[in-house]
């Protein structure tokens, strides 16, 4: 009787810089968190800290480089600026609020 080979490795395709490779992929690699492209309209906290001041609110138009808020972290005040020009769709922070790394503070459209 021939037993089916369940754990027999097989080649799979992997594309890196537009070059296709045939390789064995591990279970860990297959189950990894998939890459999601960065949305420049979502302004996130780059470090945990406290919001000291908010300069804008929902509905306001902002230009590249406009101040959005001040984030205090490790006794330093960091001015968060707008990466794109547009209209503030939502503000997810308020003065005195503590935020964690990756917290979405503003949505700009």
How confident is the model at residue 65, as a pLDDT? 93
Say which residue, 4 or 36, is predicted with more confidence.
Answer: 36
Going by C-alpha positions, the residue among 87, 90, 83, 43 that lies closest to residue 64 is 83
- The structural domains of the chain, ordered by start, are 42-108 (2.40.50.100)
Please list, in sequence order, all residues whose beta carbon lies within 8 angstroms of the beta carbon of residue 25, skipping any fewer than 6 positions away.
Answer: 12, 14
How confident is the model at residue 5, as a pLDDT? 58
How confident is the model at residue 51, as a pLDDT? 97
CA distance 97 to 32: 33
Per-residue pLDDT tens over the stretch 35-61: 888 888 999 999 999 999 999 999 999
């Amino acid at each position: 009787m021939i037993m089916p080979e369940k754990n027999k490795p097989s080649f799979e395709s992997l594309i890196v810089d537009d070059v296709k490779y045939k390789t064995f992929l591990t279970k860990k690699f297959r189950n990894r968190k998939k890459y999601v492209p960065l949305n420049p309209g979502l302004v996130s906290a780059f470090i945990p800290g406290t919001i000291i001041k908010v300069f804008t609110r929902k509905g306001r138009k902002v230009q590249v480089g406009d101040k959005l808020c001040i984030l205090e972290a490790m006794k330093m005040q960091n001015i968060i600026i707008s990466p794109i020009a547009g209209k503030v769709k939502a503000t997810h922070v308020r003065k005195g609020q503590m935020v964690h790394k990756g917290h979405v503070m503003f949505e700009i459209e």
